[in-house]
A = this chain, B = another copy of it.
């Protein structure tokens, strides 16, 4: 298998960090989004969604969607468990991972893609073009502020995002918090639990992936 990747983008990073936690070394193929390489015919034919990450299996099957890719890796390499160990824990990890996507990653994307000149006419990833919306960038900033405050409050009583151990929900949340710097948003002194958790996750070797 090989992973179509782009170093600067948050979603491929989710898969890289996940794979690093598993101790996997998946060959990476760089798709230079900065040069719009995802729109080149070579990649577009392979992946009409024109997004990364995408995992290509040895038989040519292509998997997109970061969590679908991670779930496949979890099935092939169950240890360490990152999706939950019982029916209830798996549901709770799914719940928290989705909340971190909606409250965190989606908020950063709204704030970032609707302002940066490089995304003019490309406010959403994928095969269709959408214009930037200034009011949506402002909404993204407001959502990000709530995300940081709400996550700080949650982490004041929970060691990790989905309970007492590290899971994929921490990977999603950490990357959302870290990537928020592109929208000029960083944790501040009013968010000590968020900062302590961020520093704990950042210290894991996988965070460098």
Contact = CB atoms under 8 A, between A and B. Distances in A.
Majority DSSP secondary structure for residues of A touching B: helix
A71 B98 contact: no
A65 B71 CA distance: 18
A92 B68 contact: yes
Interface string A130-172: 1101011001001100100010000000000000000000000
B136 A95 contact: no
Nearest to A149: B128
A87 interface: yes
A107 to B, nearest CB: 10
Given A65-B98, A75-B90, A130 B139 contact: yes
A2 interface: no
A94 B124 CA distance: 21
A75 B87 contact: yes
Given A68-B98, A139-B133, A142-B130, A63 B75 contact: no
Contacts of A131: 135, 139
Contacts of A90: 71-72, 75
A33 interface: no
A68 B95 contact: yes
Interface string A87-122: 110111011001100000000000000000000000
Closest 8 CB pairs of A and B: A75-B87, A72-B91, A68-B95, A68-B94, A65-B95, A133-B135, A68-B91, A65-B98
